Structure 1
Amino acid sequence: MSYQTPSAPCDAVYEIKKSEFLAFAYPIDSREQAMDHVAKLRARYPDARHHCFGYIIGDPNNTTSAGFDDDGEPNGTAGRPILNVLQHKAIGNCIIVVVRYFGGIKLGAGGLTRAYGTVAQMAVDQMVLTTFIPKSVLMIATSFAHEAQVRYLIGAAAGEISAVDYAADVMITAQLDTAKVDEFVASLGVYGAVVE
Protein backbone atom coordinates (compact mmCIF):
# COMPACT_ATOMS: atom_id res chain seq x y z
CA MET A 1 0.00 0.00 0.00
CA SER A 2 1.55 3.29 -1.07
CA TYR A 3 1.15 6.56 0.84
CA GLN A 4 2.51 10.10 0.99
CA THR A 5 5.62 11.02 2.94
CA PRO A 6 7.67 14.24 3.10
CA SER A 7 10.74 14.27 0.86
CA ALA A 8 12.62 16.81 3.01
CA PRO A 9 12.38 18.64 6.34
CA CYS A 10 10.28 21.81 6.48
CA ASP A 11 9.03 24.26 9.07
CA ALA A 12 6.36 26.87 9.83
CA VAL A 13 5.76 29.61 12.41
CA TYR A 14 2.43 30.65 13.92
CA GLU A 15 1.88 33.46 16.43
CA ILE A 16 -1.26 34.06 18.46
CA LYS A 17 -1.70 36.28 21.56
CA LYS A 18 2.08 36.70 21.87
CA SER A 19 2.67 32.91 21.99
CA GLU A 20 4.94 31.61 19.24
CA PHE A 21 4.53 28.11 17.80
CA LEU A 22 7.46 26.80 15.71
CA ALA A 23 6.63 23.63 13.77
CA PHE A 24 9.33 21.35 12.35
CA ALA A 25 8.43 18.40 10.11
CA TYR A 26 10.90 15.61 9.29
CA PRO A 27 10.78 12.41 7.24
CA ILE A 28 11.51 9.43 9.53
CA ASP A 29 11.50 5.64 9.40
CA SER A 30 11.85 4.69 13.07
CA ARG A 31 10.76 5.85 16.53
CA GLU A 32 14.44 6.30 17.46
CA GLN A 33 14.88 8.70 14.55
CA ALA A 34 11.75 10.59 15.62
CA MET A 35 12.95 10.93 19.23
CA ASP A 36 16.37 12.07 17.96
CA HIS A 37 14.69 15.03 16.20
CA VAL A 38 12.82 15.89 19.43
CA ALA A 39 16.07 15.75 21.45
CA LYS A 40 17.88 17.99 18.94
CA LEU A 41 15.08 20.57 19.05
CA ARG A 42 15.08 20.52 22.87
CA ALA A 43 18.83 21.26 22.73
CA ARG A 44 18.36 23.97 20.06
CA TYR A 45 15.47 25.68 21.91
CA PRO A 46 16.21 25.00 25.60
CA ASP A 47 14.31 28.10 26.76
CA ALA A 48 11.00 27.08 25.10
CA ARG A 49 8.16 26.11 27.44
CA HIS A 50 6.99 23.05 25.45
CA HIS A 51 8.30 20.66 22.76
CA CYS A 52 5.18 18.76 21.63
CA PHE A 53 4.99 16.26 18.79
CA GLY A 54 2.99 13.77 16.77
CA TYR A 55 4.40 11.10 14.45
CA ILE A 56 3.39 8.23 12.19
CA ILE A 57 5.76 5.49 11.09
CA GLY A 58 4.58 3.41 8.16
CA ASP A 59 1.24 3.50 6.35
CA PRO A 60 -1.01 6.16 7.97
CA ASN A 61 -4.10 4.10 7.02
CA ASN A 62 -2.72 0.99 8.73
CA THR A 63 -0.28 2.43 11.23
CA THR A 64 2.63 0.30 12.36
CA SER A 65 3.52 2.93 14.94
CA ALA A 66 2.08 6.31 15.87
CA GLY A 67 2.51 8.49 18.89
CA PHE A 68 2.27 11.95 20.37
CA ASP A 69 3.33 13.91 23.44
CA ASP A 70 1.74 17.00 24.98
CA ASP A 71 4.96 17.81 26.91
CA GLY A 72 3.19 19.49 29.82
CA GLU A 73 0.36 21.12 27.88
CA PRO A 74 -3.17 20.13 29.05
CA ASN A 75 -3.95 16.54 28.06
CA GLY A 76 -4.91 16.18 24.38
CA THR A 77 -4.38 19.85 23.43
CA ALA A 78 -1.00 19.59 21.66
CA GLY A 79 0.28 16.19 20.50
CA ARG A 80 -3.15 14.83 19.53
CA PRO A 81 -4.01 17.77 17.19
CA ILE A 82 -0.56 17.43 15.54
CA LEU A 83 -1.11 13.67 15.02
CA ASN A 84 -4.66 14.34 13.76
CA VAL A 85 -3.28 16.56 10.96
CA LEU A 86 -0.92 13.78 9.80
CA GLN A 87 -3.74 11.20 9.96
CA HIS A 88 -6.23 13.46 8.17
CA LYS A 89 -3.75 14.17 5.36
CA ALA A 90 -2.69 10.46 5.26
CA ILE A 91 1.02 11.27 5.64
CA GLY A 92 3.28 8.49 6.91
CA ASN A 93 6.94 8.24 7.96
CA CYS A 94 6.79 11.74 9.39
CA ILE A 95 7.13 13.60 12.70
CA ILE A 96 6.01 17.13 13.39
CA VAL A 97 7.54 18.75 16.48
CA VAL A 98 6.07 22.03 17.71
CA VAL A 99 8.23 24.23 19.93
CA ARG A 100 6.11 26.71 21.93
CA TYR A 101 7.18 29.97 23.49
CA PHE A 102 4.49 31.16 25.92
CA GLY A 103 3.57 34.82 25.44
CA GLY A 104 1.94 35.40 28.82
CA ILE A 105 -1.70 35.19 27.67
CA LYS A 106 -3.47 31.87 28.29
CA LEU A 107 -5.17 30.44 25.20
CA GLY A 108 -7.43 27.92 26.95
CA ALA A 109 -7.79 24.27 25.93
CA GLY A 110 -9.72 25.06 22.74
CA GLY A 111 -7.27 27.80 21.77
CA LEU A 112 -4.28 25.51 22.33
CA THR A 113 -5.85 22.70 20.30
CA ARG A 114 -6.54 25.10 17.41
CA ALA A 115 -3.05 26.67 17.60
CA TYR A 116 -1.20 23.31 17.54
CA GLY A 117 -3.46 22.02 14.76
CA THR A 118 -3.01 25.24 12.76
CA VAL A 119 0.80 25.27 12.90
CA ALA A 120 0.96 21.53 12.10
CA GLN A 121 -1.26 22.17 9.06
CA MET A 122 0.99 25.09 8.05
CA ALA A 123 3.99 22.70 8.15
CA VAL A 124 2.10 20.15 6.04
CA ASP A 125 1.28 22.90 3.53
CA GLN A 126 5.06 23.49 3.16
CA MET A 127 5.83 19.80 2.54
CA VAL A 128 6.97 18.43 -0.77
CA LEU A 129 5.31 15.02 -0.66
CA THR A 130 6.45 11.91 -2.46
CA THR A 131 4.73 8.56 -2.80
CA PHE A 132 6.24 5.90 -0.57
CA ILE A 133 5.97 2.44 -2.12
CA PRO A 134 6.89 -0.47 0.18
CA LYS A 135 9.69 -2.62 -1.27
CA SER A 136 10.78 -6.21 -0.69
CA VAL A 137 14.27 -7.63 -1.16
CA LEU A 138 14.43 -11.04 -2.81
CA MET A 139 17.34 -13.45 -3.23
CA ILE A 140 16.84 -15.42 -6.44
CA ALA A 141 18.85 -18.53 -7.27
CA THR A 142 19.12 -19.42 -10.95
CA SER A 143 21.41 -21.17 -13.39
CA PHE A 144 23.84 -19.42 -15.74
CA ALA A 145 21.60 -20.49 -18.62
CA HIS A 146 18.54 -18.76 -17.13
CA GLU A 147 20.23 -15.62 -15.76
CA ALA A 148 19.19 -13.43 -18.72
CA GLN A 149 15.55 -14.56 -18.41
CA VAL A 150 15.49 -13.84 -14.65
CA ARG A 151 17.01 -10.40 -15.27
CA TYR A 152 14.30 -9.77 -17.88
CA LEU A 153 11.53 -10.83 -15.43
CA ILE A 154 12.93 -8.52 -12.71
CA GLY A 155 12.91 -5.63 -15.19
CA ALA A 156 9.38 -6.49 -16.35
CA ALA A 157 8.23 -6.26 -12.70
CA ALA A 158 9.91 -2.81 -12.42
CA GLY A 159 12.40 -4.29 -9.98
CA GLU A 160 16.01 -3.29 -9.42
CA ILE A 161 19.00 -5.61 -9.18
CA SER A 162 21.30 -4.65 -6.30
CA ALA A 163 23.80 -7.52 -6.44
CA VAL A 164 24.74 -10.59 -8.47
CA ASP A 165 26.99 -13.33 -7.08
CA TYR A 166 28.45 -16.05 -9.26
CA ALA A 167 29.35 -19.38 -7.66
CA ALA A 168 28.04 -22.84 -8.59
CA ASP A 169 24.82 -21.02 -9.52
CA VAL A 170 23.88 -17.37 -9.96
CA MET A 171 22.45 -15.55 -6.92
CA ILE A 172 20.63 -12.32 -7.79
CA THR A 173 19.53 -9.86 -5.11
CA ALA A 174 16.66 -7.69 -6.32
CA GLN A 175 14.26 -5.14 -4.88
CA LEU A 176 10.63 -5.11 -6.01
CA ASP A 177 7.44 -3.32 -5.00
CA THR A 178 5.95 -5.51 -2.27
CA ALA A 179 2.61 -5.56 -4.12
CA LYS A 180 4.28 -7.21 -7.16
CA VAL A 181 6.22 -9.96 -5.33
CA ASP A 182 3.64 -12.77 -5.64
CA GLU A 183 3.13 -12.14 -9.36
CA PHE A 184 6.90 -12.02 -9.91
CA VAL A 185 7.52 -15.29 -8.00
CA ALA A 186 4.80 -16.98 -10.09
CA SER A 187 6.46 -15.71 -13.30
CA LEU A 188 9.84 -17.21 -12.33
CA GLY A 189 8.59 -20.74 -13.00
CA VAL A 190 11.46 -23.03 -14.03
CA TYR A 191 13.95 -20.13 -14.42
CA GLY A 192 14.78 -19.68 -10.76
CA ALA A 193 13.67 -19.84 -7.15
CA VAL A 194 13.42 -17.33 -4.33
CA VAL A 195 15.77 -18.29 -1.48
CA GLU A 196 14.59 -17.58 2.09
Structure 2
Amino acid sequence: MDAQRDSGPLLTLRRGAPALGEYEEKRSKFVCLLERVDDEEAARAVVAAQRKAYPDARHHCSAFVIDQIDTTPIVRSSDDGEPSGTAGTPMLDQLQGAGLSDVVAVVVRWFGGTKLGTGGLVRAYGNAVSEAIDAARENGLMQVVTTQCWNAQVGHEIAGRFEADIRAMDVEVLDVDYGAKVTIRIATDEIGPAGALLAALTSGGAEWQPDGVVRMERPVS
Protein backbone atom coordinates (compact mmCIF):
# COMPACT_ATOMS: atom_id res chain seq x y z
CA MET A 1 0.00 0.00 0.00
CA ASP A 2 1.22 3.53 -0.79
CA ALA A 3 0.26 6.65 1.16
CA GLN A 4 1.31 10.23 1.74
CA ARG A 5 3.19 11.27 4.87
CA ASP A 6 1.55 13.94 7.01
CA SER A 7 3.34 17.29 7.04
CA GLY A 8 5.06 18.50 10.20
CA PRO A 9 8.35 18.06 12.05
CA LEU A 10 10.28 15.03 10.84
CA LEU A 11 11.38 12.66 13.61
CA THR A 12 13.35 9.44 13.55
CA LEU A 13 14.98 6.92 15.87
CA ARG A 14 18.52 7.18 17.11
CA ARG A 15 20.87 4.97 15.12
CA GLY A 16 21.50 1.63 16.77
CA ALA A 17 18.53 2.06 19.11
CA PRO A 18 15.63 -0.14 17.91
CA ALA A 19 12.48 -0.20 20.03
CA LEU A 20 10.07 -2.99 20.94
CA GLY A 21 6.38 -2.93 21.77
CA GLU A 22 4.01 -5.73 22.79
CA TYR A 23 0.24 -6.06 22.88
CA GLU A 24 -1.95 -9.05 23.70
CA GLU A 25 -5.65 -9.59 23.05
CA LYS A 26 -7.63 -12.82 23.48
CA ARG A 27 -4.37 -14.77 23.75
CA SER A 28 -3.11 -13.45 20.40
CA LYS A 29 0.31 -11.87 20.91
CA PHE A 30 1.56 -8.95 18.83
CA VAL A 31 5.23 -7.93 19.05
CA CYS A 32 6.44 -4.84 17.19
CA LEU A 33 10.03 -4.06 16.23
CA LEU A 34 10.65 -0.43 15.29
CA GLU A 35 14.00 0.18 13.62
CA ARG A 36 15.87 3.01 11.89
CA VAL A 37 16.51 2.49 8.16
CA ASP A 38 17.96 4.63 5.37
CA ASP A 39 16.26 3.15 2.31
CA GLU A 40 13.62 0.71 1.10
CA GLU A 41 16.11 -2.12 0.69
CA ALA A 42 17.12 -1.85 4.34
CA ALA A 43 13.47 -1.74 5.42
CA ARG A 44 12.64 -4.91 3.51
CA ALA A 45 15.73 -6.58 4.96
CA VAL A 46 14.41 -5.91 8.48
CA VAL A 47 11.06 -7.47 7.53
CA ALA A 48 12.83 -10.52 6.08
CA ALA A 49 14.97 -10.87 9.21
CA GLN A 50 11.90 -10.85 11.46
CA ARG A 51 10.22 -13.44 9.28
CA LYS A 52 13.30 -15.64 9.56
CA ALA A 53 13.63 -15.08 13.31
CA TYR A 54 9.99 -16.01 14.02
CA PRO A 55 8.95 -18.69 11.49
CA ASP A 56 6.30 -19.99 13.91
CA ALA A 57 4.33 -16.72 13.81
CA ARG A 58 1.26 -16.58 11.60
CA HIS A 59 1.78 -13.03 10.29
CA HIS A 60 4.69 -10.62 9.86
CA CYS A 61 3.00 -7.33 8.99
CA SER A 62 4.95 -4.19 8.20
CA ALA A 63 4.93 -0.48 7.47
CA PHE A 64 7.72 1.94 6.70
CA VAL A 65 8.25 5.60 5.86
CA ILE A 66 11.45 6.90 4.27
CA ASP A 67 12.15 10.54 3.41
CA GLN A 68 14.98 11.61 1.14
CA ILE A 69 16.09 14.99 -0.17
CA ASP A 70 14.44 16.04 -3.45
CA THR A 71 12.42 12.83 -3.78
CA THR A 72 8.88 11.76 -2.97
CA PRO A 73 8.73 9.99 0.42
CA ILE A 74 8.59 6.19 0.20
CA VAL A 75 5.57 4.98 2.16
CA ARG A 76 4.59 1.30 2.21
CA SER A 77 2.57 -1.14 4.29
CA SER A 78 1.68 -4.83 4.16
CA ASP A 79 -1.11 -6.85 5.79
CA ASP A 80 0.78 -10.13 5.17
CA GLY A 81 -2.36 -12.24 4.93
CA GLU A 82 -4.51 -10.39 7.45
CA PRO A 83 -7.80 -8.96 6.12
CA SER A 84 -7.13 -5.96 3.90
CA GLY A 85 -6.54 -2.75 5.83
CA THR A 86 -6.49 -4.34 9.29
CA ALA A 87 -2.72 -4.47 9.90
CA GLY A 88 -0.45 -2.43 7.64
CA THR A 89 -2.74 0.60 7.49
CA PRO A 90 -3.15 1.09 11.27
CA MET A 91 0.59 0.51 11.66
CA LEU A 92 1.33 3.18 9.08
CA ASP A 93 -1.18 5.51 10.72
CA GLN A 94 0.76 5.24 13.99
CA LEU A 95 4.10 6.03 12.31
CA GLN A 96 2.72 9.01 10.42
CA GLY A 97 0.69 10.26 13.37
CA ALA A 98 3.90 10.36 15.42
CA GLY A 99 5.72 12.23 12.64
CA LEU A 100 8.25 9.41 12.22
CA SER A 101 10.31 8.78 9.12
CA ASP A 102 13.29 6.65 8.08
CA VAL A 103 11.78 3.86 10.17
CA VAL A 104 10.26 0.44 9.62
CA ALA A 105 7.75 -1.25 11.91
CA VAL A 106 7.29 -5.03 11.82
CA VAL A 107 4.57 -6.62 13.92
CA VAL A 108 4.80 -10.37 14.42
CA ARG A 109 1.53 -12.05 15.43
CA TRP A 110 1.01 -15.38 17.14
CA PHE A 111 -2.63 -16.49 16.84
CA GLY A 112 -4.29 -17.21 20.17
CA GLY A 113 -7.15 -19.33 18.88
CA THR A 114 -9.88 -16.65 18.84
CA LYS A 115 -10.60 -14.42 15.87
CA LEU A 116 -10.44 -10.74 16.76
CA GLY A 117 -12.56 -9.31 13.96
CA THR A 118 -11.72 -6.29 11.85
CA GLY A 119 -11.91 -3.78 14.69
CA GLY A 120 -9.90 -5.97 17.02
CA LEU A 121 -7.11 -6.43 14.49
CA VAL A 122 -6.91 -2.72 13.72
CA ARG A 123 -6.70 -1.96 17.44
CA ALA A 124 -4.13 -4.67 18.14
CA TYR A 125 -1.72 -3.81 15.33
CA GLY A 126 -2.01 -0.10 16.04
CA ASN A 127 -1.44 -0.59 19.77
CA ALA A 128 1.63 -2.76 19.21
CA VAL A 129 3.25 -0.03 17.11
CA SER A 130 2.16 2.63 19.60
CA GLU A 131 3.91 0.74 22.40
CA ALA A 132 7.11 0.58 20.33
CA ILE A 133 6.90 4.32 19.60
CA ASP A 134 6.58 5.03 23.33
CA ALA A 135 9.71 2.95 23.92
CA ALA A 136 11.52 4.86 21.17
CA ARG A 137 10.59 8.16 22.83
CA GLU A 138 12.10 6.90 26.07
CA ASN A 139 15.31 6.09 24.18
CA GLY A 140 15.27 9.60 22.72
CA LEU A 141 14.18 10.61 19.23
CA MET A 142 16.02 12.74 16.70
CA GLN A 143 14.57 15.62 14.69
CA VAL A 144 15.65 15.68 11.05
CA VAL A 145 16.01 19.09 9.41
CA THR A 146 17.07 20.05 5.89
CA THR A 147 19.60 22.88 6.09
CA GLN A 148 21.16 25.14 3.46
CA CYS A 149 24.89 24.64 2.82
CA TRP A 150 27.39 27.38 1.95
CA ASN A 151 31.08 27.53 1.05
CA ALA A 152 33.66 30.30 1.11
CA GLN A 153 37.33 30.57 0.21
CA VAL A 154 39.90 32.58 2.15
CA GLY A 155 43.67 32.95 2.16
CA HIS A 156 45.85 30.86 4.44
CA GLU A 157 46.91 33.95 6.39
CA ILE A 158 43.43 34.38 7.91
CA ALA A 159 42.17 30.80 7.66
CA GLY A 160 42.94 29.81 11.25
CA ARG A 161 41.16 32.78 12.78
CA PHE A 162 38.28 32.48 10.31
CA GLU A 163 37.73 28.80 11.10
CA ALA A 164 37.88 29.42 14.86
CA ASP A 165 35.40 32.30 14.66
CA ILE A 166 33.03 30.29 12.46
CA ARG A 167 33.11 27.33 14.85
CA ALA A 168 32.20 29.70 17.68
CA MET A 169 28.99 30.61 15.85
CA ASP A 170 25.72 28.68 15.83
CA VAL A 171 26.51 26.97 12.52
CA GLU A 172 27.61 23.47 11.57
CA VAL A 173 31.08 23.26 10.01
CA LEU A 174 30.88 20.43 7.47
CA ASP A 175 34.33 20.52 5.91
CA VAL A 176 37.58 22.50 5.80
CA ASP A 177 39.81 21.96 2.76
CA TYR A 178 43.33 23.36 2.75
CA GLY A 179 44.28 23.77 -0.90
CA ALA A 180 45.65 26.76 -2.80
CA LYS A 181 43.07 28.59 -0.71
CA VAL A 182 41.17 27.37 2.32
CA THR A 183 37.58 26.36 1.57
CA ILE A 184 35.16 26.14 4.46
CA ARG A 185 31.74 24.54 4.00
CA ILE A 186 29.04 25.19 6.58
CA ALA A 187 25.35 24.47 7.10
CA THR A 188 23.01 27.19 8.32
CA ASP A 189 19.68 28.69 7.30
CA GLU A 190 20.78 32.12 8.54
CA ILE A 191 23.94 33.20 6.74
CA GLY A 192 23.86 36.81 8.00
CA PRO A 193 26.30 36.56 10.94
CA ALA A 194 28.72 34.35 9.02
CA GLY A 195 28.46 36.72 6.07
CA ALA A 196 29.31 39.71 8.24
CA LEU A 197 32.35 37.88 9.66
CA LEU A 198 33.61 36.93 6.21
CA ALA A 199 33.15 40.46 4.90
CA ALA A 200 35.04 41.92 7.88
CA LEU A 201 38.00 39.53 7.59
CA THR A 202 38.34 39.88 3.80
CA SER A 203 37.36 43.56 3.50
CA GLY A 204 34.45 42.46 1.35
CA GLY A 205 36.66 40.42 -0.95
CA ALA A 206 34.85 37.10 -0.45
CA GLU A 207 31.27 35.93 -0.18
CA TRP A 208 29.50 32.76 0.90
CA GLN A 209 28.21 30.73 -2.05
CA PRO A 210 25.14 28.45 -1.87
CA ASP A 211 26.26 24.82 -1.95
CA GLY A 212 23.23 22.53 -1.87
CA VAL A 213 21.42 21.25 1.20
CA VAL A 214 22.13 18.64 3.85
CA ARG A 215 19.96 16.65 6.25
CA MET A 216 20.96 17.14 9.86
CA GLU A 217 19.77 15.48 13.06
CA ARG A 218 19.24 17.06 16.45
CA PRO A 219 18.13 15.36 19.68
CA VAL A 220 14.53 16.07 20.60
CA SER A 221 14.54 17.83 23.95
What interval of TM-score do these two structures reach, taking the shorter chain for normalisation?
0.7 to 0.9
Q: CA deviation at 1:119?
A: 0.8
Verify: 1:194 aligned to 2:209, yes or no: yes
d(CA) in 2 for partners of 1:75, 1:183 = 53
- SS of residue in 1 equivalent to 2:82: coil
Q: CA deviation at 1:103?
A: 1.8
d(CA) in 2 for partners of 1:122, 1:13 = 6
Q: CA deviation at 1:169?
A: 1.2
Specify which of 146, 149, 167 is matched with residue 134 of structure 1.
Answer: 146
d(CA) in 1 for partners of 2:127, 2:135 = 13
Specify which of 103, 114, 117 is matched with residue 123 of structure 2.
Answer: 114
Give the number of equivalent residue pairs: 190
Q: Which residue of 2 aligns with 1:34?
A: 43
Q: CA deviation at 1:34?
A: 1.2
Q: Which residue of 1 aligns with 2:11?
A: 4
Q: Which residue of 1 aligns with 2:172?
A: 159
Matched residue type, 1:191: A
> Does the aligned pair in 2 maintain the 1:2–1:134 contact within 8 Å?
no
Match runs of 1:52-67 below 5 Å: 52-58=61-67, 64-67=73-76
- SS of residue in 2 equivalent to 1:191: coil
Between stretches 28-37 and 107-116, larger displacement belongs to 28-37
Q: CA deviation at 1:160?
A: 2.4
Task: Give TM-score, length-normalised by structure 2.
Answer: 0.73
Q: Which residue of 2 aligns with 1:143?
A: 155
Matched residue type, 2:206: Y
> Does the aligned pair in 1 maintain the 2:150–2:208 contact within 8 Å?
no
Q: Which residue of 1 aligns with 2:23?
A: 14
d(CA) in 2 for partners of 1:139, 1:122 = 44
Q: Which residue of 1 aligns with 2:112?
A: 103
Matched residue type, 1:132: V
Q: Which residue of 1 aligns with 2:181?
A: 169
Q: CA deviation at 1:170?
A: 1.3
Cα deviation digits, residues 22-75 of structure 1 (max 9, x gap): 10011222212211111111111122111111122239xx97222111111111
- Cα distance change on mapping 1:157 and 1:107 into 2, 3 Å: same
Cα deviation digits, residues 142-194 of structure 1 (max 9, x gap): 322442335524542421244x33221112344x25x44x6578555543443
Identity of aligned residues (%): 34
Gap runs ≥5 in structure 1: none
